[in-house]
Amino acid sequence: MFPYKNSITIDRKNNRPIYLQLCDQIISFIRAGKLPPSTKLPGSRRLADILGIHRKTMVAAFDELIAQGWIVSIPSKGTFINSELPIISPVNLNSSFDAKSKKQLSGFDFFHNTYIDDTDLSLENDFYLIGDGVPDNRLAPIDEIAKTYRNISKKEYHKKLLGYSSIYGNKELRKTLVTYLNQSRGLDITIDNILITRGSQMGLYLSSQLLLQQGKTIVVGATNYSTADNTFEYSNGKIERIKVDQNGLNTQQLEMICKKKQVDAVYVTSHHHHPTTVTLSAERRMHLLLLAEKYCFAIIEDDYDYDFHYENSPILPLASNDYHGNVIYIGAFSKIIAPAMRIGYLVAPKDFILEAAKLRRIIDRQGDTLLEETLATMIKVGDVQRHCNKVIKIYKQRRDLFCKLLKDKLSDYLSFDIPNGGMAIWVNLDKKYNWEPISVEAKKRKLYISDWKRYDMINSGHNSIRLGFASFNEIEIPIIIDRLHEAILAATTL
């Protein structure tokens, strides 16, 4: 007989009623083939005795299983597993099968993405995660967001905002962004040129899907934002790399490639090159635009941290000088407000926006209308600009403190240039040393250097990584530098 007593567990502290706990487990045994079709079950009285529960509970479980069609009761014969159920090859009773386990391997074939990291970034409280450069979420204007969200959720908006709506995203936000981007970035766009996305990443994905299918060529920097590389590869694009120096992407080298082969797109983080943080020079900006016009390629301009420029005003994007419809301009509020505010925009010629909207329709019907309306209101009443002005001052101070301590304490091991903007420092470790043991030692000291291997996707051995500074305050920064110092000392004296 099936070992009911050993196989069924009842958790009396669980909120789920006991009769349903019984049903769940009996169903999982049927599904696993452990209780095959037509198996006779013990009577409800006997099974209740075996399991040490009240008979009424057992009867309730049987009734539920009968109602769901898992078992049948045949008068004067007994209760059986439904003989109509498909026969499943039985799983060994002692096997590690666990219906609740989420770690089972799929019983079907599908695409495996080997390059996206799935590290859980939620570390214990006393751990510091030092990485790519992210905002300090503690500074996010959460009260303003909550207040505005609550106000716009009130009655009169219900009909307007809670239904299915435009595949281009919330119209009020699109209208607001037209003014915002034209004024702040020197663009000259209308509402037809703008699609709302969930962060810059969706803009990257939509663009690469539309541009790169069928193995089209995209040119990127020798060092590049690795997730952009991943996105292009996922879209079947062929990546060509060009050098990056103090002036950003080397456009002379790009021109040489264009002379030899068809280039379909160029990806550029013009404001602060990711990962090295340098700004694309004015000369190269003009050159890149001229090449795009001449060779008819798209420029994907990822302006992920436009607002964070500390020495002078932010440099206007390439999109502000695009007179021939070559630039696809991507931005978001993930860095200005917080990464969880999944609102971004894709700016491009109208025909491209239409196709991007259709594609987005397939993966995300329309975005988050209420949140988008909230953001539109916050931009209009000046909340976003006020917040931006506040955090720029704070991040500049943090950059200066981080750089000072890095220089004072670690200049024997590493070098760096103070970045003009952004949220991270591009740090070059002396080639005598290696990040691998340092990151191991850092982890022992509760400092987690995230994803550092991904800054060198082509294994060039440049030995440089990004150290994000913006998310740490003036108390945390010295602690972090001390831990890094200790980790380097421990790793280098091994």
Ligand X SMILES: Cc1ncc(COP(=O)(O)O)c(C=O)c1O
Residues that bind ligand X (CB under 6 A): 132, 199-201, 225, 269, 274, 302, 304, 332, 334, 339, 344
Pairing state of beta strands 327-332 and 344-347? antiparallel
In the bound state with ligand X, the residue whose beta carbon lies nearer, of 64 and 203, is 203
In the bound state with ligand X, the residue whose beta carbon lies nearer, of 23 and 211, is 211
In the bound state with ligand X, the residue whose beta carbon lies nearer, of 445 and 454, is 454
Residue 196 three-state SS: strand
Q: Could you tell me where the DSSP H helices lie in 94-192?
A: 142-152, 155-161, 171-185
In the bound state with ligand X, the residue whose beta carbon lies nearer, of 228 and 442, is 228
In the bound state with ligand X, the residue whose beta carbon lies nearer, of 137 and 151, is 137
Pick from 234, 237, 6: nearest CA to 114: 234
Shortest spacing between CB 70 and ligand X, in angstroms: 45
Q: Decide: 346 and 194 in contact? Cβ < 8 Å.
A: yes
What is the gyration radius of the CA atoms in the chain, in angstroms?
Answer: 29
Shortest spacing between CB 97 and ligand X, in angstroms: 39
For residues 23 and 38, what is the distance between their CA atoms, to the nearest angstrom? 17
Shortest spacing between CB 195 and ligand X, in angstroms: 14
For residues 184 and 385, what is the distance between their CA atoms, to the nearest angstrom? 10
In the bound state with ligand X, the residue whose beta carbon lies nearer, of 297 and 306, is 306
| DSSP code of residue 318 | G
Peptide bond into 478 cis (omega under 30): no
| DSSP code of residue 89 | P
Place of tokens 């567990």: 9
In the bound state with ligand X, the residue whose beta carbon lies nearer, of 65 and 332, is 332
| DSSP code of residue 43 | P
Shortest spacing between CB 336 and ligand X, in angstroms: 10
In the bound state with ligand X, the residue whose beta carbon lies nearer, of 340 and 494, is 340
In the bound state with ligand X, the residue whose beta carbon lies nearer, of 167 and 338, is 338
List, in sequence order, every residue forming a beta bridge with 80; answer none if it has no partner.
40, 72
List, in sequence order, every residue forming a beta bridge with 217; answer none if it has no partner.
238
In the bound state with ligand X, the residue whose beta carbon lies nearer, of 128 and 308, is 308
In the bound state with ligand X, the residue whose beta carbon lies nearer, of 357 and 488, is 357
Shortest spacing between CB 225 and ligand X, in angstroms: 4
For residues 157 and 370, what is the distance between their CA atoms, to the nearest angstrom? 9
Residue nearest to ligand X according to CB distances in the complex = 199
Q: Count Cβ atoms below 10 Å from residue 450 Cβ, excluding itself.
A: 18
Shortest spacing between CB 412 and ligand X, in angstroms: 30
Shortest spacing between CB 214 and ligand X, in angstroms: 24
Q: Report the interhelical angle of 383-410 vs 476-492 (nearest 10°).
A: 40
Q: Count Cβ atoms below 10 Å from residue 320 Cβ, excluding itself.
A: 17
For residues 224 and 243, what is the distance between their CA atoms, to the nearest angstrom? 10
Peptide bond into 275 cis (omega under 30): yes
Shortest spacing between CB 192 and ligand X, in angstroms: 23
Shortest spacing between CB 107 and ligand X, in angstroms: 33
For residues 463 and 377, what is the distance between their CA atoms, to the nearest angstrom? 45
Place of tokens 């078992």: 71
Token readout for 139 is 């500074």
Shortest spacing between CB 447 and ligand X, in angstroms: 20
List, in sequence order, every residue forming a beta bridge with 79; answer none if it has no partner.
41, 73
Token readout for 71 is 């078992």
Shortest spacing between CB 332 and ligand X, in angstroms: 3
Shortest spacing between CB 274 and ligand X, in angstroms: 4
| DSSP code of residue 91 | P
Sign of the Cα torsion 428, 429, 434, 440 reads negative
For residues 283 and 58, what is the distance between their CA atoms, to the nearest angstrom? 80
In the bound state with ligand X, the residue whose beta carbon lies nearer, of 21 and 277, is 277
